[in-house]
Homo-oligomer: A and B are copies of this chain.
C-alpha cells in the first residue's frame, strides 16, 4: 500500500509550489466543538472484541529490567500481516504516556534551515499524504532467546508489529523549510517528560521517513505517539520517535543518551556500538509455537518474516531442525519494510520434530543460525544473547505428546 510520487505529484512539488502550504487548512466543524470522550469508547461508537477472545498484549515475566514498560504483541494469536493498533507492542523508557491535545500540539522544524516553521496538526494533515504498510521492531526484540522463562513467541519475539501508517513524508516538511548546505543529520525529539531524542542521517529523512498521524486508518493511539510520530522504515524502532514535537536539522548527531547511552551495545573490546540503524532479515514461526499443543494430522505452519533490506524474497521452512528446508508460500503482495506472512502445509506424524524458518531478503542476505550470527559478529554466543538486532533462527520443538516448546530454552 505504499504510495510513490508520480508525474502529477512531481509536477506539483517542483518550482516552489509548496510555498503557501501553511496558508490553508481543513477543519472539522463538528470536531472543533466536540468534547473529549471517555475511554474506552462504548461498543456502538467503537466495537469491542469478544469476551471469549483472549488475544491480548502481555508484559514479560518478572525479573526483566524492562518489565514495567514492555508490552508484547501476541503473535501466536494473529493472522495476516496487520497488527491491530491496540495490540501493537509497547517498549517505552518514559514514566507515563503523554496526553496531548492535538489542537495545541505543534511540530517545530528548525536548525540548519532557511525558514524555521511550526506546524499545527491541521496544517500537517492537509499536506500531500502517503500511506504505507511498515513493520516496527524494537532493537532488543528476541534478545533473551533462550531464557527459560521465554517459551512463547509472544514473550520472545513480540516486540515487532506491522501497521498501515499514514502521514506526510519528512522530506516534504524539510523542503518546505529549506535545508541548508552542509546539513547531514536530523535530530528528532518527543514531547514526553524526558524529551526522548534520536539522531538520523539526513539522507534517510529525505528518502522515506514518515511523519505519521494515522495508524491502520484511524488517528495514532496515545501509546503509539498520538497525535504525531516518526515512522522510520526498516530501522530499529527506537528511531521512530513518538509524540514528535521537534525536528532539528544539523551537521552532526546529537549523541543523546537514548542513542549513545541506553540502546547502545558494548563490544567485547569495550567500545560502544553506535548508530546501527538497519535491521537484518528475520522470520519466526508463530503457529505452531511454544505453549501450543498439536494433534496428529494436517497442520498449516505459518509465521512472519521481515527485513530492513527492502523486501522479503523468500522464506524457507524446516521441520527437521534445519537439516532440510522447503520454500514457503508468501502472502501477496509482499511489501517493502512490512511483515510478510508465510504459510507452509505440513502433516504431523506424531514423532518429534523441530520447526524453524529462514528469511532471505531482496539483497540476498540470509537469516543466520545462532552460531552463524555469533560468528558474524565475532563474539561468543553468550555475548550475543545480550546483543541487539538479534535475528538468529528460532527453533520450536514438537514433542511426542504434541506439546511445543522453545528448543533453545
Which A residues are within 8 Å of any B CB, using their own CB? 1-4, 6, 8-9, 12, 18, 20-31, 34, 36-41, 43-59, 71, 76-88, 90, 99-103, 126-131, 164-166, 213-214, 216-219, 221-224, 226-227, 287-288, 291-300, 302, 326-327, 329, 331-333, 335, 341, 343, 345, 347-348, 403
Query: How long is the Cα–Cα vector from A54 to B326 in the complex, in angstroms?
Result: 48
Interchain CB contact under 8 A, A27 and B221: no
Task: Provide the residues of chain B in CB contact with A83, threshold 8 Å.
Answer: 217
- Residue in B49, B50, B79, B216 whose CB lies within 8 Å of A46: B49
Task: Provide the residues of chain B in CB contact with A287, threshold 8 Å.
Answer: 26
- With A49-B219, A164-B82 already in contact, the answer to whether A24 and B293 are too (CB < 8 A) is no
- With A46-B87, A54-B31 already in contact, the answer to whether A288 and B26 are too (CB < 8 A) is yes
Interchain CB contact under 8 A, A9 and B345: yes
Query: How long is the Cα–Cα vector from A58 to B130 in the complex, in angstroms?
Result: 27
Interchain CB contact under 8 A, B218 and A24: no
Who on chain B is nearest to A55 by CB?
B218
- Residue in B47, B224, B295 whose CB lies within 8 Å of A88: B47
Who on chain B is nearest to A341 by CB?
B131
Task: Provide the residues of chain B in CB contact with A345, threshold 8 Å.
Answer: 8-9, 12, 128
Interchain CB contact under 8 A, B332 and A29: no
Interchain CB contact under 8 A, B80 and A51: no
A-B contact pairs, 12 of them (CB 8 A): A8-B326, A8-B345, A23-B295, A28-B293, A30-B54, A37-B56, A39-B50, A46-B57, A49-B218, A82-B216, A84-B85, A84-B216
Task: Provide the residues of chain B in CB contact with A71, threshold 8 Å.
Answer: 44
Who on chain B is nearest to A5 by CB?
B329
Query: How long is the Cα–Cα vector from A178 to B221 in the complex, in angstroms?
Result: 47
Interchain CB contact under 8 A, A47 and B221: yes
- With A21-B298, A333-B333 already in contact, the answer to whether A214 and B37 are too (CB < 8 A) is no
Residue of A47, A81, A85, A291 ringed by the most chain B CB atoms within 10 A: A47
Query: How long is the Cα–Cα vector from A47 to B100 in the complex, in angstroms?
Result: 16
Interchain CB contact under 8 A, A8 and B341: no
